Every structure is written in C-alpha cells, then in structure tokens.
C-alpha cells in the first residue's frame, strides 16, 4: 500500500472502503514494518507533547529567548475585555490561543511537535485540541485525526515542499492548515473527498504568502500566522462539510503552491532580507536583538 497524491488516496478509499487514517496506517505498517499499536503509541506521545505545550502557554508566563513574543496566548485565553470573552466564538477563541501558545513554547525553547515544521507547529494542535474540548471527543479520535493530517502532509512533501526556505510561508502554514482542515473534516464525519476539498481550500487561501521572519527568528509574524492558519483550517473544514467544493483539486493546488514558491525571490524565503523583516521596524528589532 502506497500513495503519492490525493487522487490516489481517494481512489484507494473508494476501492477499499477505508478512511484516510486507515490507509495511512496500512501504508506505515507495510513500508516501515511498524505495528498499528506502535503507530498509535507514537502518535499518542506526539499528542501528549502538543497538549503540554498548549497547557503551558495558557498557564505559565512564557517569553521567547529574544523577548519578541510571549504571553499573547494567555491574553486571548483569559480575555475578559470583550463582552462574553470573544467575538469569534468559544471554540475559535481556544483554537487561536492554543495555536499561538505552541509557537510561544517553541520560541522559548520548549518542546513542540513540528507539524509539519516548528514555524507552523501551532495550527494542528490548536484546532484539534480546541475541537476535542468543544465536542468532548476521545483521544482515539484525535489520534486518528493526527494520522490523517500526516497523510496530507506526506502528499505535500512528496510533490512540493513544506519548508519556508524553499516555498515561502504558504508551504509551512499553508500545509499545516491543509493538514488540519482535512483531518477536521474526517474527524467530524466528512468524506475523504470533502477532506481534500477542505485541504485544497485552506492551501488556496494562503498561496503566495512569503516567509519573512523578523530578525530571522521563528517568532514574528509566525505566531500570528498560526492563529490565522487555525481559523483558515476551521473555516475551510466547515465549508467542505457543508458541501462546498474546491474547483481546483488538492493535487493541482499543491503543484501551484510549489511553482509559486520556486518563483519567489530568495529575499522572501526565510533569509529575513525582505517583507516584514526588511521594514524599518523589522530592521530596528533585528539590530536590537543582535546587539543584545
Ligand atoms: S514566516 Fe517563515 S519562519 Fe515564520 S512560520 Fe512562515 S515560513 Fe515559518
């Protein structure tokens, strides 16, 4: 069992009557010789790390090593200045806080799961953990969702890139949002086709986004892009679950993302020489951080 595209996953799912996570488990057991129990155990360990990062970010005082970010996840989670504590709804508020929190933990040298990268590590835990709490979902359901998300990440890795240095931020936070969106659809009872409509929609929404980290640190604008990535995933999943389809299939969106990434100048691919990193404020912050 192996697959290299969303189309192949959809065809396999139709012929074998399996969900994405079941196909991914079959692939891993065959190619890596791991048992299903081992795969689930490893994913449970990843989920544990994700949950610890989320928990730390909303309960502890976290500051990044540079001092550039920290404390914003807690600010959102505990917000009382807005009437009712949120304008986006309780679940979205959690997804925003949690996804930003994981980035804060990463920037303070804490432990996170790169899913698919450190810079985009907040989107999957932020959305899945918020949904688990909102809908009282079991650990097994979230572990299945993580396995589904890994299959979507695999397709992008095989056909394009998940690295900001190669494809810009669209490749990092765009892929993470696609992974989360497809997994959310499956865990909420959607079809395999709907999962890939959601994944396509979230990646399309972020095409062209450059990688321009201030002072070359995976902190800003990365943290806020994870919050927007989480909302992108949730909105795309909601659309797909309601029957809204992506006109361009996921595999073609991935191809487009890769072409765009390759056409970006090097200043906009993690070199911190362009975009927000090259603004007056960005350059001043870089100087201050490096002088210290
Ligand atoms: S701006 Fe660059 S470093 Fe930051 S999340 Fe995006 S791709 Fe990663």
Q: How far apart are CA 106 and CA 129, in angstroms?
A: 17
Residue 161 Cα to ligand 1 midpoint, Å, equals 13
Ligand 1: residue whose CA is nearest its atom 8: 119
Task: Please say whether the beta carbons of 49 and 41 come within 8 A.
Answer: no
Among 118, 168, 176, 225, which residue has the most ligand 1 atoms within 8 Å of its CB, making it the best to mutate? 225
Q: How far apart are CA 243 and CA 197, in angstroms?
A: 9
Mean pLDDT by 10 residues, the chain (292 residues): 96 98 97 95 98 98 95 94 91 98 98 98 98 98 98 98 98 98 98 98 98 98 98 98 98 98 98 98 96 84
Residue-wise DSSP of 213-280: -GGG-SSTTHHHHHHHHHHHHHHHHHHHHTT---SS-HHHHHHHHHHHHHHS-GGGBTSSSSGGGGSH
Among 116, 118, 175, 218, which residue has the most ligand 1 atoms within 8 Å of its CB, making it the best to mutate? 218
Residue 140 Cα to ligand 1 midpoint, Å, equals 31
Q: Is this model's pTM higher than 0.95 or not?
A: yes
Identify the structural domains of the chain with CATH numbers, from first to last: 6-291 (1.10.4100)
Residue 142 Cα to ligand 1 midpoint, Å, equals 26
pLDDT of residue 114: 98
pLDDT of residue 1: 87
pLDDT of residue 172: 98
CA angle 167, 219, 87 (to 5 degrees): 100
Among 103, 120, 165, 279, which residue has the most ligand 1 atoms within 8 Å of its CB, making it the best to mutate? 120
pLDDT of residue 83: 86
Who lines ligand 1 at CB under 6 A? 119-120, 164, 169, 172-173, 211-213, 218, 221-222, 225, 270
Task: Please say whether the beta carbons of 171 and 217 come within 8 A.
Answer: no
Q: How far apart are CA 96 and CA 92, in angstroms?
A: 6
List phi, psi (to 5°) of 269: -130, 70
Q: How far apart are CA 248 and CA 265, in angstroms?
A: 26
Among 99, 203, 269, 270, which residue has the most ligand 1 atoms within 8 Å of its CB, making it the best to mutate? 270
Residue 173 Cα to ligand 1 midpoint, Å, equals 7
Ligand 1: residue whose CA is nearest its atom 2: 211
Q: Give every CB contact of residue 270 below 8 A, 6+ residues apart in sequence.
A: 163, 164, 165, 211, 213, 216
Residue 36 Cα to ligand 1 midpoint, Å, equals 33
Closest-lying ligand 1 atom to the alpha carbon of residue 118: 8
């Amino acid at each position: 069992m192996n697959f290299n595209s969303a189309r192949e996953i959809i065809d396999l799912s139709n012929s074998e009557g399996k969900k994405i996570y079941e196909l991914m488990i079959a692939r891993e057991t065959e190619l890596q010789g791991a048992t299903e129990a081992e795969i689930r155990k490893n994913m449970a360990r990843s989920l544990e790390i994700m949950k610890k990062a989320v928990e730390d970010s909303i309960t502890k005082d976290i500051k990044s090593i540079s001092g550039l970010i920290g404390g914003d996840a807690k600010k959102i989670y505990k917000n009382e200045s807005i009437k009712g504590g949120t304008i986006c709804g309780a679940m979205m508020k959690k997804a925003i806080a949690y996804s930003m929190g994981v980035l804060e933990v990463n920037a303070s040298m804490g432990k996170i799961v790169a899913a698919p990268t450190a810079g985009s590590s907040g989107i999957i835990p932020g959305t899945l953990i918020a949904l688990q709490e909102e809908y009282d979902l079991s650990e097994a359901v979230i572990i299945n969702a993580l396995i589904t998300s890994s299959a979507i990440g695999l397709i992008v890795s095989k056909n394009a890139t998940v690295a900001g240095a190669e494809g810009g931020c669209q490749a990092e936070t765009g892929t993470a949002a696609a992974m989360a969106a497809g997994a959310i659809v499956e865990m909420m009872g959607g079809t395999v086709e709907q999962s890939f409509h959601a994944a396509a929609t979230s990646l399309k929404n972020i095409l062209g986004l450059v990688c321009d980290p201030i002072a070359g640190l995976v902190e800003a604008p990365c943290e806020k892009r994870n919050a927007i990535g989480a909302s992108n995933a949730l909105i795309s999943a909601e659309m797909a679950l309601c029957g809204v389809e992506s006109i361009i299939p996921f595999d073609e969106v991935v191809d487009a993302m890769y072409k765009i990434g390759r056409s970006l100048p090097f200043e906009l691919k993690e070199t911190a020489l362009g975009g927000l990193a090259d603004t007056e404020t960005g350059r001043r912050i870089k100087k201050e951080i490096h002088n210290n």
